[in-house]
Structure 1
Amino acid sequence: MSPQLVLPKIVNLKGHPTLNERWLQDRLTENPSLLGLGELEVRSSERRQPSGGRLDLLLQNIETSTRYEVEIQLGAVDESHIIRTIEYWDIERRRYPQYDHIAVIAAEDVTSRFLNVISLLNGAIPLMAIQIKGVEVNGAFTLIATRVLDLTTLGTEEEDEGETVDRASWEHKASRGSLRIMDGLTEIVNTIHSGMTPKYTKFYIGLASGGAAQNFVKFRPSKSYVLTEFKIPQEEELSNWLNESGLAIVPYETRYGNYRVRIRQSDLKDHRETLVDLITKARDAYFR
């Protein structure tokens, strides 16, 4: 005898007398895995915001230190729900920059009109949209969450490198003098991590060992200096030390996690010890 097929019944939560937003929020607080975002812990519920209002749920992935700012809405998503979600996400990421933050719109119905709007925002903001449906089966209720909009996947530095070129093209694009500065930096790199050679690509010069990219330091030669990028996680103590080093520091590149310094020929001698420290930190962080 084959098992009996039981058809589920979709329940309109917004119009239900008892399965209201408070009920939904309590269920997600008890079991945040219902959202389909992995194993999360609840950091806070109804989290008061400095600007007024309360964030429905603040969830955190312990392994990755990623936080999710979740705003819940019964019925169809609307403008105020989107704005509120982004506002609370922005407040939390500014208050706690040590975490990665993702805004999550959780609604009973994500209509095509607002899905298009959210998709446009998703290119600039880490934003997800989850549609939550209440379901009744034989008198019991459950929730089904469908991720209708996921995060935009960012490309890697290696994917963005462009075509492989040769040294002559960089000498023409920048100058022979700036390439000599890069040579001096590469020599320092090899005193710390031997076997590294320049890898010339269209947009930057990376490092390689045996043909494999190992870009813990990258070079972007210009006419008179080399913008050098050190792949090191941002730290306040390190940032302060660099700002007092006497080197020409460029603002930190948050997307790829690089400290950036404009290095001239004189820096190879005058600031050699600082450069050795930076390259060592970048190497250690890269191969950690």
Structure 2
Amino acid sequence: MVEFAKFEKISVKNHSELNERWVQDRIADDPSVLGFGDVVLKDKERIQPRAGRLDLLLQDADSNRRYEVEIQLGATDESHIIRTIEYWDIERKRYPQYDHVAVIVAEDITSRFLNVISLFNGMIPIVAIQMNALRLDGKVGLVFTTVLDQMTLGLVDDDEEVQETTDRAYWESRGSKKTVQMADKILEIAQRFDSALELKYNKFYIGLAKQGIPSNFLVFRPKKNFMRFEPRLKRSPELEERLEQAGLDLMDYDSRWGRYRIRLQASDLDKHEELFTELIELASKNGSSE
């Protein structure tokens, strides 16, 4: 029988040792606790021009969505709402290429302020998350519950903003050695058309570079058990039919950036090397500069 454990709810605001920075660090260590899926910490205590500091800036690992996160101990209040919206507005104006979402995290989101926040939802994408601190045997955990989710609103390409570079070890940890090696194999094919190409390890994807300059007609996003391959190509029903007939997992077409998104297994590259060679050659001709 599973043993029942009784957790004690505590207030971080009134705790003698815990504080807002402690909460911020816990989220920064593992941003997925907020329930947004596979998100990555982009920045912490981000300076806002003439407006203080944004607690956390998160980015979805597989899209151009960013989350401007503000943390409030105790109950949310007017200043917290205004500050969250202000930081969201600054970031969206500075980086209009991204899909921005304002996120309020508080220990107590009262019904009054929930009503106020809901008035903006749809016009301003806001997510309200209630945080509960629970203690057991001297240890404290945090539980985050979304009490108001955003209503979808109606991005510059990843490469049009200077990307934070990483290294191969980062991607082997984030994905796996096997899936990163898939990028190596595709690079070998690309080098048949341009021997100067090399992999460039960015925080949100692996791209290509030529003499240090991005040339991302191909983008790779290694996962644990597969790799998402994104060649830049004009949309073609004939090409889509060929990919499907080959048994490849064609996820979708990103019309904004002109990329197919294909889920690859290592065996796909061996089975369909001729097709991939053709795709890569087409992508390289379609436009490699960014």
| Structure-to-structure mapping, 1:112-127, within 5 angstroms | 112-127=111-126
Rounded to whole Å, the distance in 1 between the matches of 2:153 and 2:68 is 20
SS at match of 2:12: coil
Rounded to whole Å, the distance in 2 between the matches of 1:23 and 1:122 is 29
Rounded to whole Å, the distance in 2 between the matches of 1:16 and 1:60 is 30
- Is the Cα–Cα contact under 8 Å of residues 8 and 134 in structure 2 kept in the other structure? yes
What is the aligned partner in structure 1 of residue 158 from structure 2?
A: none
| Structure-to-structure mapping, 1:14-29, within 5 angstroms | 14-29=13-28
Aligned residues: 163
**Consecutive aligned runs of 4 or more in structure 1 exceeding 4 Å deviation:** none
Rounded to whole Å, the distance in 2 between the matches of 1:121 and 1:234 is 29
Shift of 1:232: 6.5
What is the aligned partner in structure 1 of residue 198 from structure 2?
A: none
What is the aligned partner in structure 1 of residue 60 from structure 2?
A: 61
Q: Does 1:11 pair with 2:13? A: no
Shift of 1:145: 0.2
Rounded to whole Å, the distance in 2 between the matches of 1:8 and 1:39 is 28
Rounded to whole Å, the distance in 1 between the matches of 2:127 and 2:59 is 15
Rounded to whole Å, the distance in 2 between the matches of 1:151 and 1:123 is 7
Shift of 1:141: 1.1
Shift of 1:100: 0.5
SS at match of 2:6: coil
SS at match of 2:150: coil
What is the aligned partner in structure 2 of residue 78 from structure 1?
A: 77
Deviations 1:77-129 (A, max 9, x none): 00000000000000000100111000000111100000000011112111100
Is the alpha carbon distance of 1:90 and 1:134 closer, same or farther for their aligned partners in structure 2, counting shifts above 3 Å?
A: same
What is the aligned partner in structure 2 of residue 131 from structure 1?
A: 130
| Structure-to-structure mapping, 1:120-159, within 5 angstroms | 120-153=119-152
Shift of 1:12: 0.6
Gaps of 5+ in 2: 155-235, 238-253, 259-290
What is the aligned partner in structure 2 of residue 31 from structure 1?
A: 30
| Structure-to-structure mapping, 1:194-233, within 5 angstroms | 233=256
Rounded to whole Å, the distance in 2 between the matches of 1:65 and 1:154 is 14
Work out the percentage of aligned pairs sharing the same amino acid: 57
CA RMSD of aligned residues (A): 2.4
Gaps of 5+ in 1: 156-191, 194-230, 236-288
- Is the Cα–Cα contact under 8 Å of residues 125 and 153 in structure 2 kept in the other structure? no
- Residue type at the aligned position of 1:138: D
Shift of 1:153: 4.0
Rounded to whole Å, the distance in 2 between the matches of 1:3 and 1:125 is 44
Rounded to whole Å, the distance in 2 between the matches of 1:69 and 1:132 is 16
- Residue type at the aligned position of 2:24: Q
Rounded to whole Å, the distance in 1 between the matches of 2:128 and 2:16 is 26
What is the aligned partner in structure 2 of residue 99 from structure 1?
A: 98
Deviations 1:51-98 (A, max 9, x none): 230000000012012100000000000000000000000000010011
SS at match of 1:46: strand
Rounded to whole Å, the distance in 1 between the matches of 2:148 and 2:14 is 25
- Residue type at the aligned position of 2:10: V
- Is the Cα–Cα contact under 8 Å of residues 65 and 101 in structure 2 kept in the other structure? yes
- Residue type at the aligned position of 1:120: L
Rounded to whole Å, the distance in 1 between the matches of 2:98 and 2:153 is 18
- Residue type at the aligned position of 1:112: S
| Structure-to-structure mapping, 1:128-277, within 5 angstroms | 128-153=127-152, 233=256
Is the alpha carbon distance of 1:138 and 1:108 closer, same or farther for their aligned partners in structure 2, counting shifts above 3 Å?
A: same
